[in-house]
Amino acid sequence: MSVYIGPAIEAAGLNKTFGDVKAVDDLTFSVERGTITGFLGPNGAGKTTTLRMLLGLVAPDGGSATIGGRRYVDLPEPGKVVGAALEATGFHPARSGLSHLRVYCTVSGYPLARADEVLDDVGLGPAKRRAVGGYSLGMRQRLALAAALLGDPEVLILDEPANGLDPEGIVWMRRFLRRYADSGRTVLVSSHVLTEMQQLVDQVVILRRGRLVRQGSLAELSSGPPWALVKTPEVERLLAALGEGVADLRVERLAPDALRIELAAAHIGRVAVDARVELHELTPGRDDLEQAFFELTTEHESEREPA
Q: Tell me which residues touch ligand ATP (CB under 6 A).
A: 18, 21, 23, 41, 43-49, 192
Query: What is the rounded distance in angstroms from the CA atom of residue 227 to the CA atom of residue 248?
Result: 14
**To the nearest whole angstrom, how small is the minimum distance from the Cβ of residue 52 to ligand ATP?**
8
Contacts of 167 (CB under 8 A, 6+ apart): none
**To the nearest whole angstrom, how small is the minimum distance from the Cβ of residue 12 to ligand ATP?**
18
Burial per residue of 286-300, b for 16 or more beta-carbon CB atoms within 10 angstroms, e otherwise: ebebeebbeebbeee
Residue (193 or 249) nearer to ligand ATP, CB: 193
Residue (51 or 230) nearer to ligand ATP, CB: 51
For residue 211, the cross-strand partners are 208
**To the nearest whole angstrom, how small is the minimum distance from the Cβ of residue 286 to ligand ATP?**
23
**To the nearest whole angstrom, how small is the minimum distance from the Cβ of residue 13 to ligand ATP?**
17
**To the nearest whole angstrom, how small is the minimum distance from the Cβ of residue 18 to ligand ATP?**
3
**To the nearest whole angstrom, how small is the minimum distance from the Cβ of residue 211 to ligand ATP?**
12
